[in-house]
Structure 1
Amino acid sequence: MSRLIVVSNRVSVPQAMGAAGAQGGLAVALGAALRENRGIWFGWSGKETDSFTGHLDMQRNFGVTTATIDLEPQDVDEYYNGYANRTLWPLFHYRIDLTEYDRSFGESYVRVNQRFAESVIPLIEPEDLVWVHDYHLLPLGSMLREKGVTNRIGLFLHIPWPPTRLFVSLPNHEQLVASMLHYDLIGFQTEEWLDSFIHYIKKEMGLKVAKDGTIEYQSRRIVARAFPIGIDYDEFLEASRSADAIGAYDRLKNSLGGNRKMLIGVDRLDYSKGLGERFDSFDRFLTDNPDMAKDVVLLQIAPPSRGDVSSYQLIRHDLERKAGHINGAHADVAWVPIRYVNRGYPRSELAGFYRAADIGLVTPLRDGMNLVAKEYVAAQDEEDPGVLILSRFAGAAPQMQDAVLVNPHSPEEVSDAIKQALAMPLEERRRRHQALLASVRDEDVVRWREHFVEALQGKGADDHSTAGNASPQKVPVKTQ
C-alpha cells in the first residue's frame, strides 16, 4: 500500500491532532489520510535559524509523523513575506496594483523550493504518493524530477488562478508554469480557476489539452482538474454541539439584548476578503434603513495576519478608521452597530457564534473557496436557520447557489441583500438552508481528499503519467 507524503509551506501543530474543534478541516482531513497511509507531513517549522543545515525535526503525535525544517531570516523575508505574499498572493487575487516584482524575492523562492526538495527526498520511498500544496511550492515538482524522483506527484492550489491577461504580468511566467507541468496531477478549487489555467496553457504555451483536462508536454501527460474542497462536516457538527459552542452561543445572544438581529463576518485580515467594502455596505444599510438600523449589529472577527507586509498594516488601519467612523455616525448610548474584533477564536466557539447569527456575511472580493460560508451553514439550527449572503466571486459560490449571491463591490446591492435576508420568511430560509446543507454535507473535505488521492493514483482512468518511463528534463525555473 502506497504511503502519502504531504508537502506544504507550514505543517499543522502535531500536538493538536485529534483534538475536536482545535484544527481546521484541512488539517483534520490530511491527518486522517496520513494515519491511514502511514504517511509523513513535511514543511517549514515556522522557526528561523542562523544557518540552513537541512536538519529534519521528526515527530510523531496522534498517529501522524511530521518532518520540519527551519529557514534563515532572509528566506522568510524574501520567499514567504516576499515572493509568496507580496508577489503571487496579490497577483493571483487579481490585485495587480499591490503586486511587487523584486528579483531577490524570485531568487529566494527558487532557493527555498530547492531546499524543500533536497530535504524531503530522503523521506520518499519508491511507491509513495507525493501531494504538494499551494502557491508557495509551485516549482517543487520539477525540482524533485530533476533529482530523480519518479513517483506520482500532485499539486493542489488553494487560491485562485488569475486570468491570462493578468498572469502574464509576472516576470518569467512561462518558466514557472513549465515547472508545474512536471506534476502528474494539478488540482484547482473550481472550474473557473481550472479554465483560466487551461487558457494560459493553450494561448501562451501552444499546448494541446484534451476534454478530460489531459495536457501533453515533453512526452508527458499531466491531468488538470477541479476538486472543490469542503469542511469536515462530521467533525464540525460535533464541535458545534460542544459545551464551548453552547457557551459561546449563550454569551453572544445575551450580549445583544432584546430582539436585535446579528450579522457575522469571520475573515483573516486580508484585502482579498473585502472587509472595507463590507463595512461600507453595512454603513449604506444603516443609512438607507434608519427604521431597522438599531435592531441590527455586525460582529466582524478579523484576526491579523502577515503583519510584516505593509499592505496588511494599511488595511488594518483603514478598517479601524472605518469602524470608528460608522460607529460614531450611527451609535447611541445603548447600541453600537459594529463590533470589530482583532483576534481569533477556537472553531468550537466560532460554531456557537455562527449559530447565534441571523446572517452570515461572506463577501470576499476574490477567494479560492471560502470555508467560512460552509461552516456558517453547518452550524445553523435547521428549524430556524440564518441566511447566508455570499459573494459571487468566492470559490464556494458555484456550489452554494441557494445563498443570497451579491457583488461585494456594490454597497447598494449588499445593503439590499441584508434587508432581504432580515425580512426573509421562515419557509424560504428553511428551503435555502436545506439545499445548502446538502451540498456542505455531501461535498465535504473527506470526499475532496479521497477524490484527489484516487486521481493521483490513477484510479478510475488510464494512468497518464510517464513518470518512471522517461528521463526527467531539467526545466530552468526563473521567477524574475
Structure 2
Amino acid sequence: MSRLVVVSNRVADPRKTAAGGLAVALGEVLNNSGGLWFGWSGKLAEGDAEPQLNVQQAGPVTLATVDLDREDYEAYYVGYSNGVLWPVFHYRLDLADFDAGYIEGYRRVNQMFARRLLPMLQPDDVIWVHDYHLIPLAAELRALGCTQRIGYFLHIPLPPPLILAAIPGHDWLVKGLCSYDVVGFQSEADHEHFCDYIQAEAKAQPAGEGRWRVFNRTIHAGAYPIGIDVQEFRGVTEAPEAAEMYERMKREYSRRKLLVGVDRLDYSKGLPQRMRAFRELLRRYPETRQSATLIQIASPSREDVSAYTDILHELESLCGSINGNYGELDWMPVRYMHRTVARARLPGLYRASRVALVTPLRDGMNLVAKEFIAAQDPEDPGVLVLSRFAGAAEQLKEALLVNPYDTEGTAAAIHLALQMPLEERRERHQSLLATLTRYDVHWWCDSFLQTLGQAEAEETGTPWLRL
C-alpha cells in the first residue's frame, strides 16, 4: 500500500473529532497507510535561522510542521495568500493588494516547504496538496527532483479566466497548477474556468476523460465536491451537548420560528446582504414580525485587515437598526453573536431552526449548508435557503436557491421557507439527505485518490495501488 502524504497550510490531529469531518476523513486514509501530514505549525519563529522541523506521532500518523518567521508570515500568509489570492478567487479584484510585492515571499515559503518535505518522502508516496496557499508546491518539489504522484485540491472557488488573468504572474500560478498530476475543484463551474484558462492561455490540448496535455505533460482536472461525514455529524447531533442546545432553543423560542446563519466574518459570505434581505422580509411581510427570529453567528476572522473591520462595523450597524426599528420589549428580530460557537453545540441549533440562511456572494462549497441538512429531524425538517453562488448549489438543487444580490427576491424566498408545508419540507429534505449521503466526505476522498492512483498507472505503466 502506498503511503499518503497530505500537505496543507495548517495541520490537524485527526484523532481529535473537534478538528471536523475533513481531518477525520483524511485521518482514516493516513491511518491506513501510516501517512504523513505536513504544514505550517501556526507559530512564528524567532531569529534568522531556518525554522526547525517539528515531528510528532498521532497514532500511526506522523505530523510534521515548520514555523514561519514574521517576514514570511506577512508576505506568504497575510499578504499574498489572503491579500491577493483570496479576494481575486472570490471575484473581489477591488480588494486585492497587487502592488506590495508579496509574491516573492509566497514563493519563498513554498520553496522552504518543498526543501523540508523532500527528505521525508518515500519512493512510492502519493502526495495530496491542499488549497490556495500551496499552488506552486508541486513545481518546487519537481525542481528538487521529486517524481512521486502529486495531487492538488482547491477548496475555494476558481474565477473565470479574465478575472484570474488580472493577477500579476497569473501564468506562473497556473503553470504551477499544471505541475500536479491531478487538479481537483469544488464545482463543475470552477473546473470549467480552469479548462477555459489553460486552453486559451497555455494552448492545452484535450487528451480524453478529463486529461490535458499542457507544458509537455499530462494532467487530469475534474470536479470533486467535498462532502461531510453524515453519520459522524448525525452522531454529534444526538450527543448530549447538541441535544441540550436543541432543547434549550425549543424552550426559549417556543413562540418563534428560528432562522440561523453560521459564518466566518468575511466579505465573501454576504452577511450585510443577508441582513438587508431579513429587514425586507420584516417590512414586506408584517406577519413575520414577532414570529421570526434570526440567530446570526459571525466568527472572528482576520480582524487586522481593514476590509474585515469595515464589514464588521456594517454588520453591527445593520443588526442594530433592524432591532431598533422592528424590535419589541419581548422580541428582538436579530440575535447577533460575533464569536465562535463550539462545533459540538451547533447541530442542536441547526435542528431547532426552521430555516438556514446560507447566502454567500461566492463560496467554494459551504459545508454549513450540508451540516444543516444532516442535523434535521426527517419528520419535521427545516428548509435551506442557499445562494446560487455557493459551490453546494450544484448538488443541493432541492434547496431554495437565491441570488443574494437580489434583496427582494431573497426576502420572498425566506418567506416561502417559513410558510412551507410539512410534506414539501419532508420531500425536499429526503432528496437533499440522499445526495449528502451518497457524496459524503469519504466519497470525496476515495474518488480523488482513485483518480490520482489511476494517473500513476497511466504515466508509469505500473499497477494502480489503492490507498
Confirm or deny a common fold (TM above 0.5).
yes
Report the equivalent of 2:178: 181
Task: Decide which of 205, 208, 216 is 2:205's aligned counterpart.
Answer: 208
Task: Decide which of 425, 432, 445 is 1:429's aligned counterpart.
Answer: 425
Shift, 1:443, TM fit: 0.6
Q: What are the equivalent positions in structure 2 for 1:379-398 lying under 5 Å apart?
A: 379-398=375-394
RMSD: 1.5
Query: CA distance change for structure 1 residues 462 and 172 in 2, over 3 Å: closer, same or farther?
Result: closer
| 100-109 or 87-96, which deviates more | 100-109
Other structure's SS at 1:47 match: strand
Shift, 1:211, TM fit: 4.2
1:71-93 Cα shifts (integer Å, max 9, x gaps): 01111111111100010001001
Query: CA distance change for structure 1 residues 19 and 72 in 2, over 3 Å: closer, same or farther?
Result: closer
Task: Decide which of 139, 146, 149 is 1:149's aligned counterpart.
Answer: 146
Q: What are the equivalent positions in structure 2 for 1:263-342 lying under 5 Å apart?
A: 263-342=259-338
Taking only the aligned residue pairs, the percentage that are identical comes to 50
1:427-469 Cα shifts (integer Å, max 9, x gaps): 00000000000011111001100111111111xx78343699x
Cα pair 2:25 2:442 within 8 Å, conserved: yes
> Which amino acid counterpart does residue 420 of structure 1 have in structure 2?
L
Shift, 1:210, TM fit: 3.4
Report the equivalent of 1:3: 3
Separation of aligned partners in 1, 2:291 and 2:297:
20
Cα pair 1:222 1:465 within 8 Å, conserved: no
Shift, 1:61, TM fit: 2.2
Q: What are the equivalent positions in structure 2 for 1:121-200 lying under 5 Å apart?
A: 121-200=118-197
Separation of aligned partners in 1, 2:347 and 2:266:
22
Matched, 1:99 2:96: yes
Matched, 1:26 2:22: yes
Separation of aligned partners in 2, 1:42 and 1:328:
49
Cα pair 2:45 2:51 within 8 Å, conserved: no
Separation of aligned partners in 2, 1:271 and 1:110:
26
Separation of aligned partners in 1, 2:399 and 2:137:
38
> Which amino acid counterpart does residue 397 of structure 1 have in structure 2?
A
Shift, 1:418, TM fit: 1.0
Matched, 1:465 2:459: yes
Separation of aligned partners in 2, 1:283 and 1:399:
29
Cα pair 2:241 2:345 within 8 Å, conserved: yes
Separation of aligned partners in 2, 1:466 and 1:173:
30
Report the equivalent of 2:72: 75
Cα pair 1:155 1:183 within 8 Å, conserved: yes
Cα pair 1:266 1:302 within 8 Å, conserved: yes
Cα pair 2:294 2:333 within 8 Å, conserved: yes
Cα pair 2:131 2:153 within 8 Å, conserved: yes
Cα pair 1:23 1:347 within 8 Å, conserved: no
Cα pair 1:52 1:70 within 8 Å, conserved: no
Other structure's SS at 1:282 match: helix
1:218-277 Cα shifts (integer Å, max 9, x gaps): 431010111111001111111010001101111222222x42000000111111110010
Task: Decide which of 443, 448, 457 is 2:444's aligned counterpart.
Answer: 448
Cα pair 2:186 2:225 within 8 Å, conserved: yes
Report the equivalent of 1:246: 243
Cα pair 1:152 1:465 within 8 Å, conserved: no
Shift, 1:140, TM fit: 0.4
1:26-72 Cα shifts (integer Å, max 9, x gaps): 11111111101110110000000123524211111244320000001
> Which amino acid counterpart does residue 66 of structure 2 have in structure 1?
I
| 203-212 or 272-281, which deviates more | 203-212
Equivalent residue pairs, number: 461
Other structure's SS at 1:78 match: helix
Separation of aligned partners in 2, 1:467 and 1:126:
16
Report the equivalent of 1:477: none
1:167-212 Cα shifts (integer Å, max 9, x gaps): 1110011111112211110001111000000000011111112342
Shift, 1:217, TM fit: 2.3
Cα pair 1:186 1:225 within 8 Å, conserved: yes
> Which amino acid counterpart does residue 225 of structure 1 have in structure 2?
G
Cα pair 1:157 1:188 within 8 Å, conserved: yes
Shift, 1:19, TM fit: 4.0
Query: CA distance change for structure 1 residues 221 and 334 in 2, over 3 Å: closer, same or farther?
Result: same
Matched, 1:439 2:441: no
Cα pair 1:43 1:69 within 8 Å, conserved: yes
Other structure's SS at 2:457 match: coil
Separation of aligned partners in 2, 1:102 and 1:74:
17
| 127-136 or 287-296, which deviates more | 287-296
Other structure's SS at 1:79 match: helix
TM-score normalised per structure 1: 0.94
Cα pair 2:149 2:456 within 8 Å, conserved: no
Matched, 1:353 2:349: yes
1:370-408 Cα shifts (integer Å, max 9, x gaps): 010000000000000000111111100111000011101
Other structure's SS at 2:205 match: coil
Query: CA distance change for structure 1 residues 467 and 413 in 2, over 3 Å: closer, same or farther?
Result: farther
Separation of aligned partners in 1, 2:100 and 2:406:
37
Separation of aligned partners in 1, 2:338 and 2:131:
26
Matched, 1:35 2:31: yes
